Structure 1
Amino acid sequence: MPDLKLVGLCGSMRKASTNRMLLNEAARLFGPASYTEGDLNLPLYNGDIENGPGIPAEVQALSDLIGGADAVILTTPEYNKGVSGVLKNALDWISRTKNAPWKDKPIAVISAAAGTQGGARANSMLRTLMLPFNPLLIPGPEVMLGQSAQQFDAQGRLTSEMGVKLLTELTGKLRAEALRMRQG
């Protein structure tokens, strides 16, 4: 059986963001797979663009990447008690593509934030935002990494024993679901 295809979407644009580090750790703990992080550097959603020139090529490419994946991991920081604008914008654009890439797709949602709650509100909001797309959301364990700047070593590895345990369990469930879906 060929390797699973795993896609990650990070709601933070900063290259050194703790959400990106958490996403990379999740991809590592997911196990053997071809892994690609989707590019969320997209134009702002605008219905005039959609109705004029059409879906931008970079949006369609992201939608196709998600559609071709066996599983997806979404991570979000918490900005003003919600998901980041860049992630919401990507979801809005992807919702306008014709291939319904999220339908029945195994999805894991994780978050990291400077506060002690680890982006709990953004994590919950992201789960709610995904519901109209009919994915197969992995319910838990919930991974919400608080005080995230202190949770990684110099190589970007998660140092919290509990964090590693929860992330390993979540990615294990995501992998099992991806394998189950692949077998039909």
Structure 2
Amino acid sequence: MSKKIGFIVGSLRKDSYNKKVAETFEKLFPENIEIGYLEIANLPFYNEDIDVEGNTVQAYTDFRKDAATYDGFVFFTPEYNRSVPAVIKNAIDVGSRPYGQSIWDGKPALIVSTSMGAIAGFGANHHLRQSLTFINMPTLQQPEAYIGSVQNLIDEDGNFQEATMGFFQSIVDAYVDFFTKLTK
């Protein structure tokens, strides 16, 4: 039986570096793991007034139903003002409700932060870890996945350099091992 891992990309920009990193990571996973992308751009901001039994907005219901089919998640995040983009936090909030019915509970996570800056989204990475701890998502600790100065890691053909690909593969391998141990 194959397992499913959901990718959540926190940058909505068409030419997002985070999206490019996610697309590159997707190719590094073993064939027995299915990768899917969760759409988070059109989720209304979480509001309990529009999330009442019998009257929940369809976007929340659809997102929860889709996310519940995954066994683990990889979050690709830029850093906005030393934190995560609102779309990622909103997706976490929508998926964690209604209280006691979180679709995230116990599912292994990986955080990959990507930035044009030298500190590689360190603040966003750690801020996201705080939320994932609260919603009970075990998160890979090592190797840490900070991709700094990302614009310098891509060659003229738009591909990541060989050394970077080796680093990416080490992250994927560690996560797959972590994920496998927790989803047996």
Match of 1:128 among 127, 130, 133: 130
Q: What TM-score, normalized to structure 1?
A: 0.87
Q: Give the unaligned 5+ runs of structure 1.
A: none
Whether the 8 Å contact between 1:151 and 1:158 is mirrored in structure 2 is yes
Separation in structure 2 between the aligned mates of residue 180 and residue 99 of structure 1, nearest angstrom: 24
Separation in structure 2 between the aligned mates of residue 38 and residue 153 of structure 1, nearest angstrom: 28
Separation in structure 2 between the aligned mates of residue 30 and residue 7 of structure 1, nearest angstrom: 12
Q: Point out the more displaced range, 148-157 or 117-126.
A: 148-157
Matches within 5 A, 1:56-71: 56-71=57-72
- Structure-2 change in CA distance of 1:59 and 1:156 (3 Å): farther
| Greater relative contact order (CA < 8 Å, ≥ 6 in sequence) | 1
- Structure-2 change in CA distance of 1:75 and 1:54 (3 Å): farther
Deviation at 1:38, TM superposition (A): 0.4
- Structure-2 change in CA distance of 1:180 and 1:155 (3 Å): farther
Deviation at 1:156, TM superposition (A): 4.8
Deviation at 1:151, TM superposition (A): 2.1
Q: Point out the more displaced range, 83-92 or 45-54.
A: 45-54
Aligned to 1:95: 96
Aligned residue identity for 1:135: M
Aligned length: 181
Q: Can you list the C-alpha shifts for 1:33-57, whole angstroms capped at 9, x where unaligned?
A: 2211100121112221123864332
Q: How many percent identity over aligned positions?
A: 25
Aligned to 1:18: 17
Q: Point out the more displaced range, 10-19 or 45-54.
A: 45-54
Q: What TM-score, normalized to structure 2?
A: 0.87
- Structure-2 change in CA distance of 1:171 and 1:65 (3 Å): farther
Let me know the Cα RMSD of the aligned residues.
Answer: 2.1
Q: Comparing both structures, which one devotes a greater share of its residues to helix?
A: 1
Q: Secondary structure at the match of 1:178?
A: helix
Runs of 4+ in structure 1 over 6 Å off: none
